[in-house]
Structure 1
Amino acid sequence: MPELSVIVHGPNTQDRLTGLLASLAAHPHPDVEVIVAAVGPWAQETARAYAPEMLVLPLPDGTDDAAARSAGAARASGRWLHFVHAKDGLPAGAPRTVAERVAQLPDEVDVLLFDHVRSTWETAGLPSSDGPRLARAGRAAHPLDDIARSALRITPLLGNRALRTPFWHAHEPHLTTPDEPYAAYATLLLADHVAALNQVAYEHHELRPESLPPVTPEQHHALVDRYEALLTLATGAAGRAVPAVPAVPAVAPGHASRATHAVLYDVMIRDCLRTFARTPMPGPVAREFFRRAAEAAVRQRPPGYRRPAGPEGIRRGLLEENAYTGYRAFQAANRSRRAAKSALGARARQVSAALGDHHYRRSLSRPVNPNLAVFAAYWNRGVACNPAAIAAKLSELAPQIHPVWVVTPDNAPLLPPHTDHVLPGTRRYREVLATAKYLVNNVNFPNAVVKRPDAIHLQTHHGTPLKRMGVDQMDFPAAAKGLDFQALLSRIDRWDYSVSANSHSTRMWERAYPSRFVSLDHGYPRNDVYYTATAADIRTIRDRLGIPPAHRAILYAPTHRDYEAGWTPRLDLATLAEQLGKDTVLLVRGHYFYGGSPSPLTALRRTGRVIDVSAYEPVEDLALAADALITDYSSIMFDYANLDRPIVVHADDWETYRSTRGVYFDLMAEPPGQVARTQQELTEILTTSAWHDEAATKARTAFRHRFCEYDDGRAAERVVRRVFLGESEDALPPVTPLEERTPAPSPREAV
């Protein structure tokens, strides 16, 4: 019996089925079966190309989605079901991810919710808004009442949830309605327990409205009927008439409490008001929709319900009173007020910008100061990364050059004592940007900054690229997120120098940032410390972090996913810490607190076995303190490799990451050490000798030769001498061959 049956259903809409089935065929999994409920000749012809690997059920043209789902479920042998519409998609590896998660769930769980990305006719891979809600739910199983505020606001799709097969069959009459949002909500209301997975495992394709039949008045009004039926289902009120949602029984055996009913009522009101405000409807249709929504608002209002304060409360009051004309007047007044406020704000910004621009332009007429350097890092977060290492070496080799840091007001109090700095937008900020000889950043200065002919712009970057960067993001809209590529190219054209840690980076920077800058193949200055730190330095750092001398410290530092709205550990850290034993400390660089909920790691943190280092700077200290690194696709692996210590890659969603973010090479084929695709595999690696065995060492050695090419402890010196002192390449300290370098001592050696 497979863990998961993926049921693809529906007609071959706009030929989307072809790509979906090709993706499934390219990534088979022994615990996943695929059933294609193919509606109509086109879908059947497409699906037959993948038989017998997939079971094909030919269905007559015109079979609705509910009947197609039922036909597929009737033939499924998996313990869990995942319904995938033929127009939608699955990220590579998604069925494996879902199958592995459901295999871990206790029997009382009926529904697993997971994240999805959205695609339209003009763009792909847009993150949903569900990530933070799924993160708040965590990994535990919950009765719906415990997580109703999050779960009932998850996008109502059948594709972003898996259902336990016996649960589906027990409630099939409620779940086979053609109204998919009703069925999606009903899965939650009828479930015994619900679990969440904060990972993308579905792609919902929104068809271009102009390609669909016009929406009828009855379809507009059905929104109200849907919620009334759901609220009846939520209360479990046998005998109450259920409004006309097709194929929904009149008796409602729901599990939900009054609290869940209140949350669903709130969802109904919000959805009705949003639909009324944003959906074009003819006047009579809009008036009738409003009337029906008003009656439902009064009829379904929970006992003791209180409207929210402010404009939202006014809207709800007008709805309950069926005050159609008053509501339209309120809408018009709000639009006028917003327009006036926007115009006033725009005018104020224009005046402020004009004054600031005038001062900046006047400053540009002043001579360039040859002894002034402006530094910034990570969008003005403070003294960090390569710019910080360069500034430190500059004070040693060229103390006559004065550094000024650009820092946001929030970060200014965190600066080291006596750091000269300016706040963005201030008078002095404009003056130093206009007159400095040197401008150093690991990202980019604002678009408005002018490149003076006798000024030097030094781009240091802040990592070795695994993921696509710059103009290479054009094919990955989830990563680009509306990036203005023309403005990006204008910023790149200001660069005089680009720092590189290895020849791979040099090639990728030249490809991703096509311009005339000079590549400085000198190494990353921030990595110098990995060769200059002493045993005493490492003991001091570990003592500061509270790591006992004899304990193994493992740094867990995952990267950001562009296709997820929030961040939560992809590992069950509490379980991992327990399995690694009392002599191992996890340094966790990431945020696992959401919505004020208690952390499951509190007890472990008190024992010192899990240390939250999310806000700790600099990250280089954490690397020096750690005996090993766990990461996924973060560029920290390239820097950490300089220490020649074990690295374990946890790549549970590699296929999804690669297809949505884009990568420059196959990390699975060329990893820096052992690779784990599941938490169980990771635990086995870390609790045996595999994390530092011969195979891991061999992989790390090859990785270091490729990506630690120029890092030898003197990168900052080479950059300062070349850029600030004007020395020739031939006069710079040569890069020490990798075999002759001595990294900082390991924690065990330091003890």
Structure 2
Amino acid sequence: MPELSVIVHGPNTQDHLTGLLDSLAAHPLPDTEIVVAAVGDWARRTAQRHAPHVQVVPLPDGTSDAAARAAGAARATGHWLHFVRAKDGLPPGSPRTVAERVADLPGTVDVLLLDHLRSTWHSSGLPSADGPLLARAGRTDVALDDSAYLLRLTPLLGTRVLRAGFWRAHEEALTTDDEPHAALAALLLADRVACLPHVAHEDRRLRPASLPPVTAEQRYALVDRYESLLDLARERPAVYTVLYEIMVRDCLRTFARSDMPDQVAKEFFHRASVAALRRRPEGHRRPAGLEGIRRSLLEEGAYTKYRAFQKANRTRRTVRSTVRTGRHRLATQVRDLQYRGALHRPVDPHLAVFAAYWNRGVACNPAAIAAKLAELAPHLHPVWVVTGRNAALLPPGTDHVVPGTRRYWEVLATAKYLVNNVNFPNAVVKRPDAVHLQTHHGTPLKRMGLDQMPYPAAARGLDFAALLERVDKWDYSLSANSHTTRMWERAYPSRFVSLDYGYPRNDVYYTAGAGDIRAIRERLGIAPGRRAVLYAPTHRDYEAGWTPRVDLGALADRLGEDTVLLVRGHYFYEGAASPLTGLRRSGRIVDVSSYDPVEELCLAADALVTDYSSIMFDYANLDRPLIIHADDWETYRTTRGVYFDLMAEAPGPVARTQEELTEILTTDAWHEESAAKTRAVFRRRFCEYDDGRAAERVVRRVFLGQDEATLPPVLPVEQRTPAPSPEEACPS
């Protein structure tokens, strides 16, 4: 029998389970077993990738935390059980430290208490307040009646390691979804406890805005928790008194810090007041000062007086804050007045605002959605947000507004639908009856959102708190595959609904015909019979400008007269001096950096060469040759961070040098059978929902309100027919 069973339980929320199991697998211990009570398919697959280092107990979606803990404990064989939620972490070396400590404990000890770290979406490794209390207890085992102050430890089940026999004896009492209740009950039920003043657990607090709203009954359950725990401590005066203090403090903090509707707040205050009076220990004295006033008002049940007391304190703080911050600039005030005035107008149910790539024009997923909207919902009026510089490039008849103008703020304030592939400005207010659709503009290989925080080059200049305020306005988030859905859940933790419909901009890869491809190639000047290779590298956070990582002139010479290189620089470098200027006149290198839409370039190309750009995921829909040029993979991965190892899961041949790239393109390696098999695996994973009807699904669901079950089902990859290749469309 192993000494310790680490029982990891729950769903793979925001992909935290992956890192937890990676860390455990990196340092296996002979006297420790890992049992994963995996809730849902994602957690199950994640856990199974770590077999045989872990035992997997698959559980269906929706299994409660309590049921998952019980299922994991039933499989465990260790003398001691350490329950760790899948969202949490274990600092390096902590399982070994815990295993060594429990091996030395006498048989009378039921619970070992641990110290922990705290992490949130914006910080990690924060020390807890538990260290001094654990140090005070020392390493000698104690009875709770002699050390009731231990009840003040943070009530986390992950900081309690339980003797397996103790768990089995009290499983019913400890099997509850109220984790703080279980953590406190474990102390109250234990004969003796021991302490380990060592950080051996990481409590990761998920962003509240990514969790379901707290219901009224969940608020009231806080009072019920302490009522039932006080029943367990009724005959233990020292323990009872400390637990009562904890109850009153917790109820007051929850009341003050939680944004409850008034009726819920009144009922919560009433229940807390009744419990505070009924459960008050004989002779108990309230503290002095403001805290004493708060407790007195609670015991009186004086809800109105308490609110007035809060308001007075808040007013005092507001005055101080106003003095510190000063006045806003006049221009901002004028803008705010105009916008605020427009916000008082009714929402226009027929108005839809579209924007793409920081107001560059009609492009990407928003453009494809707007086109389908005109077909299926012509009663809705689209208005595009476009910079003054780009307004002249709009298709004729496109209704548009320029950022900062009066009408710009009016349409943002009154539109029923707001669609963007990035984010609208921070100042945009999310009206309750407006619908915000975030379409995104690619499948993520590189780290995005909050996942950029550990990478200084990628995080430079980003205000993550402001980012999350923008994310909280999303009603819907569009996704092309389940990988993307899960990474958006990680990177942008909020309550948006994921639309697993595919990217509308990719519909054209299944709807374009041979005539369309011939027309595009003719516009680009590609003669029939010539091979077109699209070279589309991505932006690098660690570079100030764009310097092609390929000697394009030398490559064009090696590829010969029958090949045209279509070179597209990243849009981040728009307006900068192009390094392609001296090469354009050769006829074999065409600078298409300003050509839109990019989907037409993909349709025109016989093959794509890229590095880490998300264009690879879109181009894979065409089932045409894809080559990865990754001469700086290690640097890119280290400075930007990535979600998977592209070198191991590439969509085709990988070149690490220009010589290797040239060899691939001048031999059959670029389109041989092995490359096609690799590409097929990549397509199944990353073209999962793209089948040519993504825009239709979006319009029917978001704009027409149709039920999910009535939407066109996603066609399996093997049943799809991509647009014809240039060779098929343009026979020489």
TM-score, scaled relative to structure 2: 0.54
Q: Are the structure 2 counterparts of residues 600 and 721 from structure 1 closer, same or farther at C-alpha, using a change threshold of 3 Å?
A: closer
Instruction: Report the equivalent of 1:266.
Output: none
- Which aligned pairs between 1:278-293 and structure 2 lie closer than 5 A? none
Instruction: Report the equivalent of 1:649.
Output: 628
Q: Are the structure 2 counterparts of residues 539 and 599 from structure 1 closer, same or farther at C-alpha, using a change threshold of 3 Å?
A: closer
Instruction: Report the equivalent of 1:505.
Output: 484
Instruction: Look up the SS of the partner of 2:498 in the other structure.
Output: strand
Instruction: Look up the SS of the partner of 1:411 in the other structure.
Output: helix
Does structure 1 residue 710 correspond to structure 2 residue 663? Answer: no
Instruction: Report the equivalent of 1:514.
Output: 493
Q: Contact 1:573 / 1:601 at 8 angstroms: preserved in 2?
A: no
Q: CA deviation at 1:482?
A: 2.5
Q: Are the structure 2 counterparts of residues 593 and 483 from structure 1 closer, same or farther at C-alpha, using a change threshold of 3 Å?
A: closer
2:452 maps to which of 457, 470, 473: 473
2:336 maps to which of 357, 374, 381: 357
> 350-359 or 533-542, which moves further after superposition?
350-359
Instruction: Look up the SS of the partner of 1:749 in the other structure.
Output: helix
Q: Deviations over 1:378-415 (max 9, x none)?
A: 00110000000000000000000000001111111111
Does structure 1 residue 575 correspond to structure 2 residue 554? Answer: yes
Within 2, Cα distance between the matches of 1:627 and 1:503? 28
AA aligned opposite 2:375: E
Instruction: Report the equivalent of 1:450.
Output: 429
Q: CA deviation at 1:596?
A: 6.9
Q: CA deviation at 1:606?
A: 2.9
1:418 maps to which of 379, 382, 397: 397
Q: CA deviation at 1:349?
A: 8.4
Q: CA deviation at 1:607?
A: 3.9
Q: Are the structure 2 counterparts of residues 582 and 505 from structure 1 closer, same or farther at C-alpha, using a change threshold of 3 Å?
A: same
Does structure 1 residue 731 correspond to structure 2 residue 694? Answer: no
Q: Contact 1:547 / 1:608 at 8 angstroms: preserved in 2?
A: no
- Which aligned pairs between 1:308-347 and structure 2 lie closer than 5 A? none
Within 2, Cα distance between the matches of 1:598 and 1:454? 48
Within 2, Cα distance between the matches of 1:662 and 1:541? 36
Does structure 1 residue 611 correspond to structure 2 residue 590? Answer: yes
Q: Contact 2:421 / 2:438 at 8 angstroms: preserved in 1?
A: yes
Does structure 1 residue 698 correspond to structure 2 residue 677? Answer: yes
2:349 maps to which of 370, 380, 384: 370
Q: Are the structure 2 counterparts of residues 473 and 597 from structure 1 closer, same or farther at C-alpha, using a change threshold of 3 Å?
A: closer
AA aligned opposite 1:440: V
Instruction: Look up the SS of the partner of 1:499 in the other structure.
Output: strand
AA aligned opposite 1:461: H
1:678 maps to which of 640, 645, 657: 657
Q: CA deviation at 1:347?
A: 12
Within 1, Cα distance between the matches of 2:328 and 2:393? 29
1:400 maps to which of 379, 392, 397: 379
Instruction: Look up the SS of the partner of 2:392 in the other structure.
Output: helix
Within 2, Cα distance between the matches of 1:582 and 1:555? 16
Q: Deviations over 1:603-632 (max 9, x none)?
A: xx3342110001000000000000000000
Within 1, Cα distance between the matches of 2:327 and 2:395? 35
Instruction: Look up the SS of the partner of 1:658 in the other structure.
Output: helix
Instruction: Look up the SS of the partner of 2:484 in the other structure.
Output: helix
Does structure 1 residue 491 correspond to structure 2 residue 497? Answer: no
Q: Contact 2:580 / 2:591 at 8 angstroms: preserved in 1?
A: no
Q: Deviations over 1:324-355 (max 9, x none)?
A: xxxxxxxxxxxxxxxxxxxxxx9998212111
Within 2, Cα distance between the matches of 1:411 and 1:465? 27
Which contiguous aligned blocks of 4+ residues in structure 1 show a shift greater than 2 angstroms?
A: 346-349, 591-602
Q: Deviations over 1:544-579 (max 9, x none)?
A: 000011000000000000000010110000000000
Within 1, Cα distance between the matches of 2:706 and 2:428? 27
Within 2, Cα distance between the matches of 1:741 and 1:660? 38
Instruction: Look up the SS of the partner of 2:670 in the other structure.
Output: helix
Q: Contact 2:547 / 2:579 at 8 angstroms: preserved in 1?
A: no
Q: Are the structure 2 counterparts of residues 646 and 403 from structure 1 closer, same or farther at C-alpha, using a change threshold of 3 Å?
A: same
AA aligned opposite 1:610: I
AA aligned opposite 1:648: I
Within 2, Cα distance between the matches of 1:400 and 1:598? 46
Q: Deviations over 1:253-280 (max 9, x none)?
A: xxxxxxxxxxxxxxxxxxxxxxxxxxxx
Q: Contact 1:502 / 1:708 at 8 angstroms: preserved in 2?
A: yes
Within 1, Cα distance between the matches of 2:712 and 2:621? 19
Q: Deviations over 1:80-128 (max 9, x none)?
A: xxxxxxxxxxxxxxxxxxxxxxxxxxxxxxxxxxxxxxxxxxx9xxxxx
Instruction: Look up the SS of the partner of 2:349 in the other structure.
Output: strand
Instruction: Report the equivalent of 2:700.
Output: 721
AA aligned opposite 2:331: S
TM-score, scaled relative to structure 1: 0.53
**Count of residues paired in the alignment:** 405
Q: Contact 1:644 / 1:743 at 8 angstroms: preserved in 2?
A: yes
Q: CA deviation at 1:480?
A: 1.0
Q: Are the structure 2 counterparts of residues 571 and 593 from structure 1 closer, same or farther at C-alpha, using a change threshold of 3 Å?
A: farther
Q: Are the structure 2 counterparts of residues 424 and 683 from structure 1 closer, same or farther at C-alpha, using a change threshold of 3 Å?
A: same
Instruction: Report the equivalent of 1:433.
Output: 412
Within 1, Cα distance between the matches of 2:553 and 2:688? 37
Q: Contact 2:401 / 2:407 at 8 angstroms: preserved in 1?
A: yes
1:622 maps to which of 576, 596, 601: 601
Q: Are the structure 2 counterparts of residues 532 and 348 from structure 1 closer, same or farther at C-alpha, using a change threshold of 3 Å?
A: farther
Within 1, Cα distance between the matches of 2:576 and 2:686? 39
Q: Are the structure 2 counterparts of residues 352 and 596 from structure 1 closer, same or farther at C-alpha, using a change threshold of 3 Å?
A: closer
Q: Deviations over 1:123-168 (max 9, x none)?
A: 9xxxxxxxxxxxxxxxxxxxxxxxxxxxxxxxxxxxxxxxxxxxxx
Q: Contact 1:601 / 1:610 at 8 angstroms: preserved in 2?
A: no
- Which aligned pairs between 1:31-180 and structure 2 lie closer than 5 A? none
AA aligned opposite 1:488: L
Q: Are the structure 2 counterparts of residues 588 and 494 from structure 1 closer, same or farther at C-alpha, using a change threshold of 3 Å?
A: same
Q: Contact 1:437 / 1:455 at 8 angstroms: preserved in 2?
A: yes
Instruction: Report the equivalent of 1:148.
Output: none
2:667 maps to which of 688, 709, 713: 688
Q: Deviations over 1:47-105 (max 9, x none)?
A: xxxxxxxxxxxxxxxxxxxxxxxxxxxxxxxxxxxxxxxxxxxxxxxxxxxxxxxxxxx
Instruction: Look up the SS of the partner of 2:382 in the other structure.
Output: strand
Structural RMSD (CA)? 2.0
Q: Contact 2:537 / 2:568 at 8 angstroms: preserved in 1?
A: yes
AA aligned opposite 1:558: P
Q: Are the structure 2 counterparts of residues 435 and 599 from structure 1 closer, same or farther at C-alpha, using a change threshold of 3 Å?
A: closer
Within 2, Cα distance between the matches of 1:595 and 1:422? 26
Does structure 1 residue 391 correspond to structure 2 residue 370? Answer: yes
Aligned-residue identity in percent:
77
Q: Contact 1:672 / 1:703 at 8 angstroms: preserved in 2?
A: yes
